[in-house]
Amino acid sequence: MSEIRNLEPKAVWEIFQQLCDIPRPSKKEQKAVEFAKKFGEDLGLETIVDEIQNVIIKKPATPGMEDRKTVVLQGHLDMVPQKNSNIDHDFEKDPIQAYVDGEWVTAKDTTLGADNGIGVAASLAVLKATDIVHGPLEVLLTIDEETGMTGAENLKAGFLNADILINTDSEDEGELYIGCAGGIDTNAKFYYRAEEAPVDSAAFRIDVKGLKGGHSGLDIPLGRGNSNKLLNRILYTINKSLDIRLADIQSGSLRNAIPREGFVIVTVPKAQVGEFKTFIDELVLQIKSELSVTEPGLEITYTETDMPAKVIDEKTQNNLIKAIYGIPNGVIRMSDAMEGLIETSTNLAIVKKEDGFIELASLQRSSVESAKEDLANMIRCVLELAGAEVVHEGDYPGWKPNINSPILKTMQDVYNNKWGKVPEIKGIHAGLECGIIMKNYPKLDAISFGPTIRYPHSPDEKVNIKTVGLFYEFLVETLKNIPKK
């Protein structure tokens, strides 16, 4: 038996362990859909799986609470599949190895899936409980939140009867979120011509490893290293002075994660190998010094490797390197409306050579729609000037804060009465599904909250055990205090 099953509240941790045992990476979460469907049906509750594979489970009010507003508890079934390079883990087949580490639950060298598995587990625990007082209740579990908000985007009007939406996908206990950023992907392809590798040359592989990575929205203000930017900085510097040719580049793997590791393979004239090594050694010292506090585990290495048969044509190589250098990355602007909130940011997530083209993927986020569009267009222009083919994809709206929200007032009062303090009101620089769902359900009064989760979207992801109990207790107390219709 897994040790996390013994944690309190057992009802939540038992279900979370079941979710850890079910492979559920984004776009491959069918087994989780089947689990949730069976969960609702086994309880004898009305259970619907819509066309896109979202799961909706409805539970009648407990006696005496029939006149309360209907609440929908909402979370997403998928998880981000990230692992350390030193382990062999198939996210489509293997369970997550969750374990207790002091005050936290984490996973062995992979993402944990507490984002949003804990919220899902709490919602299902409420459905299963026979001792919780609540009004009419619905649970909405969406698919593919992490790679495109597909479930929320395709949720049709008419499935939900709720007046209040409580999203369980926030990551700081004691905080209530009433707004979030929208996002858009700016993706590009550089088509190249494969040429014979130059003669009288040596080939080297340059690796960047040991970066922390993390959520490209929540962790973007932490100034963490970006493997795409670091590798390209090295390429740019040596390309100015040496006759290098780029043969391969593979860096980053997920559109919504800060890239943690990657590599390039370059050829260097044998006569310039000494200079090449000197340049790299000096750059490594500079970069590691700059990131010594933020990225103490950073490793940049170079090793001689087999000569490739082909390299990328020189024009495309130069355009690619200059474009990646010119693309902005990180926090672009802080919010004027809410102190401490990031308004606009961008993350260059993936640079990957394929057969005939190099793919770039980036994600722009903003709580201001016009600023999001402006930043995406800025990046598009840089890439198009360099000769790339560019598309915008996956555009989703933000969620405009409503400081006069009735559910906000209810939850503030509940928290204050329970713990003697008022929770913080915040916006989040990440994509929550609230704004998307409210497109088809505009009368919903929405809020988001959750336990404390650190380093989501990375193998360092962990959830604080104590805050899971506080989160669940807060949820239960809130349901008791939902106002009448």
Instruction: Say how far residue 249 (Cα) sits from the centre of its chain.
Output: 23
Is there a catalytic annotation at residue 295?
Answer: no
Residue with tokens 């329970």: 418
Helix-, strand-, coil-residue percentages of the chain, each rounded to 5: 30, 30, 40
DSSP letter string, 93-160: TSPP-EEEETTEEEESSB---HHHHHHHHHHHHHHH-SS---SSEEEEEES-TTTT-HHHHTPPTTS-
What is the layout of strands, in order, in the sheet containing 55-59? 46-49, 55-59, 137-142, 71-76, 164-167, 445-448, 175-180, 424-428
What does each C-alpha distance from 192 to 352, 357, 358 come to in angstroms?
13, 6, 8
What is the C-alpha separation between 347 and 327, in angstroms, rounded? Answer: 10
Per DSSP, 197 falls in state P
At position 12, the amino acid (one-letter code) is V
Please name which of 381, 345, 387, 374 lies closest in space to residue 362, comparing C-alpha atoms: 345
Return d(Cα 298, Cα 352) in angstroms, integer.
21
78 catalytically annotated: yes
Catalytic residue among 14, 78, 144, 185: 78
Active-site annotation holder among 14, 138, 144, 145 = 145
Q: Whole-angstrom Cα distance, residue 459 to residue 169?
A: 18
Residues serving a catalytic function are 78, 145
